[in-house]
Structure 1
Amino acid sequence: MMSRATPLSPDERRASLITVTRELIREHGHDVTTKQVADAAGVAEGTVFRVFPTRRDLIAATVADELSSTRLDDLLAAVAPTDTLDDTTETCIRTVADYASVAAQLFKRPGCPADLNRDPHDIVSLWRERLAQLHAWIDARLTPFDDDLLPTRSEFTHVVFTLGMGLAHNLHSPTQPNPALLTRIALDGARRKETPC
């Protein structure tokens, strides 16, 4: 006789369905069905509809969860510490690119915000808040290296952020530069040079 799994609390069930939906969107795009979500979560399709009245509500909740400050805080807290300007710059470029490319998968389809049953400005606002959060994180990571930089830390933070976003938008290009190359390019132009006596 097969035993039933321990039931999840409503919050746990919601989180579980969002996690499954996120992975399915990454694999299959926004055309994922509630049946696919239910199958992947190991629940009946009716369970999905008890938590999310419509498929659009499920997709909207998944996108909003991906763009939550808590999710980004957790991701940034897991980034290993770095000791050098080179390692810090490369880590920041890679982190921005990874986050932006994963988030972009949830927005890939044209017109996506209108399909989310949310005000598109809410999604845009969440995205802008996360970009500002990333920018502040880079700035904090670069603080110990103020004396090593020719531009101001604020200017270099913007350069690093821009390189990370550019990398995210070209991750599948055959001529894609890697974060180490972008770091060398950024630092060769930004590192303060010793002046000969």
Structure 2
Amino acid sequence: MTPRATPMCPDDRRTALVTATLPLLLEHGRAVTTKQIAEAAGVAEGTIFRVFESKEELVAATLEHAFDPEPFLADLRGIDPDQPLRDLVSALVKALQDRFRGIFELMTAVGMSGPPPARQHLANHRELAARIMADLLAPYADELAVPVEELVRITRLLTFSGSHPHISEGRTLTTDEIVSTVLDGLRAKDS
């Protein structure tokens, strides 16, 4: 018998169940059971249905949580701006890779081909992320052959495609490969 769950308000219980569900979705996809979720959350199976109408509603809430851009934007804002250009671009690429890979892995696990309907408006978050990145890179504008905004665009595109296992034909790019391509190009040094 599952021990009685610690009393929580419904919002806290929802959050705890979403947190327990995310790794299970990555492991089992949509085939995850409410029994597995309850065990991972340390609650009785019926507890799930006190705060969610169905397993599908819990899965949708978990996907919504996983696609929330705010933690990623906070990561970008937390990057140290007072580091050399190469280190700064590396930090930006690493943050982008972590975000993209996490989303790609989850989408593959649950059979998604795009963001959940509630996240179709992600363009404004992409613009905000681009602005944060551009602000971080602005002090180095004189060292760049292109405007800062163009460096951000190219870095994001290369990181997205180079981090996606299907687009990259299973040969994803490392942070260093992306940074070197963006900052140094692919031309031989004595050309």
Same fold (TM over 0.5): yes
Task: Give the deviation of 1:45 after TM superposition.
Answer: 0.8
Q: 1:25 to 1:133 in 2, by over 3 A?
A: farther
AA of the residue aligned to 1:147 = D
Code of the aligned partner of 1:181: E
Within a 5 Å distance, the mapping from 1:21-32 to structure 2 comes to 21-32=21-32
Query: Which residue does the alignment assign to 1:194?
Result: none
Give the distance between the partners of 2:21 and 2:6, measured in 1 at CA: 21
Q: 1:107 to 1:179 in 2, by over 3 A?
A: same
TM-score by length of 2: 0.81
Aligned partner of 2:61 in structure 1 is: 61
Corresponding residue for 1:101?
Answer: 101
Question: Unaligned stretches of 5+ in structure 1?
Answer: 191-197
Cα distance in 1 between the residues matched to 2:81 and 2:5: 40
Aligned equivalent of 1:75: 75
CA distance in 1: counterparts of 2:4 and 2:46, whole angstroms = 17
Cα displacement string for residues 151-191 of structure 1 (whole angstroms, at most 9, x for unaligned residues): 0111111011112212320399664331112211211149x
How far 1:136 moved relative to its partner?
2.5
CA contact (8 A) 1:170 1:176 kept: yes
What fraction of aligned residue pairs are identical, expressed as a percent?
30
Point out the more displaced range, 173-182 or 46-55.
173-182
Cα offset, 1:105, TM superposition: 2.6
Q: What does residue 13 of structure 1 align with?
A: 13
Report how many aligned residue pairs link the two structures: 182
* Range 11-20 or range 77-86, more displaced: 77-86
Corresponding residue for 2:189?
Answer: none
RMSD: 2.7
The structure 1 residue matched to 2:137, chosen from 142, 154, 161, is: 142
Per the normalisation by structure 1, the TM-score is 0.79
After superposition, the Cα gap between the structure-2 partners of 1:30 and 1:129, relative to the gap in structure 1 and judged at 3 Å, is farther
Aligned residue in 1 for 2:146:
151
